[in-house]
Structure 1
Amino acid sequence: MKKTFIVLTALIIFITGCGPTIYKTADFSDKTSSHKIVAILPTDVNIQLRPNEMKKTTPEQISQSEESTGRDIQDKMYSWFLKRSDKFKYTVTFQDISKTNALLSQASISYNSLSTKTKEELCQLLGVDAVISSRAAMKKPMSEGAALAVGLLIGSWGSTNDVQTSINIHEGKKGELIWKYDYYATGSVGSSTDRLVNALMRNASRKFPYNAKSK
C-alpha cells in the first residue's frame, strides 16, 4: 500500500511572536458599502523542510502536503466564520467553500494555478464582491527524527521554528487590496489545523473589517 505524506499545520502563537501588522485602505467603508458576499480561497501554503528531511521526501509529497493543508485551512476558516456569525455580526455572508471550489474546478483552476489569476478575475468567476486569500509559510515544520519516510497521519506533529501567516481581502471591481493582516511567530505546533485557524483568527477577529463590532 502506497503511503502518503500529508502535513496539516497548526500554530500556537503564545510562544514567541511579533505583533501583527495591519493594513486597511482609507476608503474601505466606501469600497465595501455594497458588499454582500465574500469567498474564501484555499490557503497558499509553503513548507520548507530541514535538509535531512528533504532527503526523505519527494517534491510531489511536499506539494500534496501543501495543497492538503491549504484546503483544510480554508475549510476551518469558513467554519470559524460560521460559528461566530452571531457574536461578531458580520456585515457580509461567506460563500460556501464547496461552491467556491466547484466553480474553480469547473473553470480548470487548480490549487497551484490560483496565483495565475487576478483577484478581480476570481471575484467575477465566483460571483462575489470580494475574496479572502491567506498564506502560511512554515520553516523547518518537522522535528528531528520525524517519520516522514513512512508518512504521517492527519494531526500528527513535531515542532516548528518559524511561521509567517497572512490574511488578505481584495475587492472585486478592480481587484484592489483593501485589507491585510500579517503575523509572524516562533513557537511550536499544535495537533490540528483547528489550532492554526483559531490562533490566527483569534488575533485577527477584533480588527476584521467585516466585523460590525470592530467599527
Structure 2
Amino acid sequence: MKATQFFLVLLSFVLTGTASYGQKNIYESRRFDELTADHQVLAIVPFLTQLNLKEKISTEDNRQLAEREGYAVQDALEGYFSRRKKKKRFNVAFQNTKNTNAILAQNNITYANIDVFTTKQLAAILGVDGIISGSIDLNILLSKGVSTEFSFFDYFNEDSDYGRIGIKISDGPTGKLLWRYEKEINKKTGKNTSELIDRMMKLAAKKFPYDKERKRKKKK
C-alpha cells in the first residue's frame, strides 16, 4: 500500500509540474496590440541550431547538420501556417520561405552570419512587418526522425530528453519582442521536425496572437 501511495504521489508531482511549466512557457508583450496594429506580412527565418550529438563528428559536419536542422524548423513552421491559414483565419500573411531565403542570399545573408543582423535590419531587407525566428538545442537529428516509444520512467531518464526549442516573433520597425514560446523536446513531442512544430503550435493555438478568433474574444 505504501509503495502504491508513493507511486501516486510521485505521478501527481510529475503531472503537476508538467502542467505548471506549460502555463509559463508563453510570453506576450503588453504592447502587442499597439505594435502590431498595422502588421500585414511576417517572415520566417531559419532557426539557429546548437547540436550536442553523442557521436563524434567533425566541426564542419556539425555545422552542416545544424544548418539542416535550422532550415527544417523554418520549413515545418511554414507548413503549419499554410495548413491552418484558412481554418484559423490569421490576420497576417506569411512570406514564402523560398522568397525569404532568396532575398537573404541576394543580400549576402547566410545561415552562418544571419545572427549578426538585427530584427529591424532583417525586416527592412525582407520588406515585412515582423520576423519569426528562434533557436533549437538538440542532442539528436530530429529532422531524420526519432523513436516515439515512451514510458513513465522516461520522465526520469536523461536519454529521453532531446533538447529545447524557442520560437519568437519580433516587431520589424522597433525590433521589440512581441511573443515567445519555449518547449522542451522529448519522445512525446513527435517523431520528426514537422510533428514537433505541429504539436507544439497546436498546444499554443489559443495563445497565438495573430489568430482572428482570439482577437475577437479579447475585445469582448
Q: TM-score when scaled to structure 2? A: 0.77
1:46–1:37 distance in 2 versus 1, CA, 3 Å? same
Q: Does 1:48 align with 2:52?
A: yes
Q: Which residue of 2 aligns with 1:91?
A: 91
Matched letter for residue 155 of structure 1: K
Structure having the higher helix fraction is 2
Q: Which residue of 2 aligns with 1:107?
A: 107
CA shift, 1:160, in A, is: 4.8
CA shift, 1:40, in A, is: 0.5
Could you list the structure 1 runs, at least 4 aligned residues long, displaced by more than 3 angstroms after superposition.
156-160, 185-191
Gaps of 5+ in 1: 1-13, 143-153
CA shift, 1:115, in A, is: 0.7
Q: Which residue of 2 aligns with 1:141?
A: 140
Matched letter for residue 83 of structure 2: K
Q: Which residue of 2 aligns with 1:179?
A: 179
Once the two structures are overlaid, the 10-residue window that deviates more, 188-197 or 170-179, is 188-197
Q: Which residue of 2 aligns with 1:146?
A: none
Identical positions, percent:
30
Over alpha carbons, which structure has the higher Rg?
2
Q: Which residue of 1 aligns with 2:78?
A: 78
Asked if the contact 1:92–1:210 (Cα under 8 Å) also holds between the matched residues in 2, the reply is yes
Asked if the contact 1:36–1:91 (Cα under 8 Å) also holds between the matched residues in 2, the reply is yes
Could you give the per-residue CA deviations for residues 71-120 of structure 1, whole angstroms, max 9, x where no partner exists?
12111211110110111110000001111000100111111211100000
Asked if the contact 2:48–2:70 (Cα under 8 Å) also holds between the matched residues in 1, the reply is yes
Asked if the contact 1:141–1:160 (Cα under 8 Å) also holds between the matched residues in 2, the reply is no
Structural mapping, 1:1-215, within 5 Å: 18-19=21-22, 20-50=24-54, 53-54=55-56, 57-138=57-138, 140-141=139-140, 155-157=144-146, 160-187=160-187, 190-215=190-215
CA shift, 1:189, in A, is: 6.9
Q: What is the alpha-carbon distance in structure 2 between the residues aligned to residue 23 and residue 64 of structure 1?
A: 31
Paired residues in the alignment total 186
Q: What is the alpha-carbon distance in structure 1 between the residues aligned to residue 40 and residue 145 of structure 2?
A: 38
Structure having the higher strand fraction is 1
Matched letter for residue 43 of structure 1: F
Once the two structures are overlaid, the 10-residue window that deviates more, 75-84 or 156-165, is 156-165
CA shift, 1:188, in A, is: 5.7
Q: What is the alpha-carbon distance in structure 2 between the residues aligned to residue 162 and residue 127 of structure 1?
A: 35
1:69–1:77 distance in 2 versus 1, CA, 3 Å? same
Q: What is the alpha-carbon distance in structure 2 between the residues aligned to residue 164 and residue 213 of structure 1?
A: 29
Greater RCO between the two (CA within 8 Å, min separation 6)? 1
Q: What is the alpha-carbon distance in structure 2 between the residues aligned to residue 190 and residue 30 of structure 1?
A: 35
Once the two structures are overlaid, the 10-residue window that deviates more, 200-209 or 159-168, is 159-168
Asked if the contact 1:170–1:177 (Cα under 8 Å) also holds between the matched residues in 2, the reply is yes
Could you give the per-residue CA deviations for residues 137-181 of structure 1, whole angstroms, max 9, x where no partner exists?
12x327xxxxxxxxxxx6343665242111111111111111111
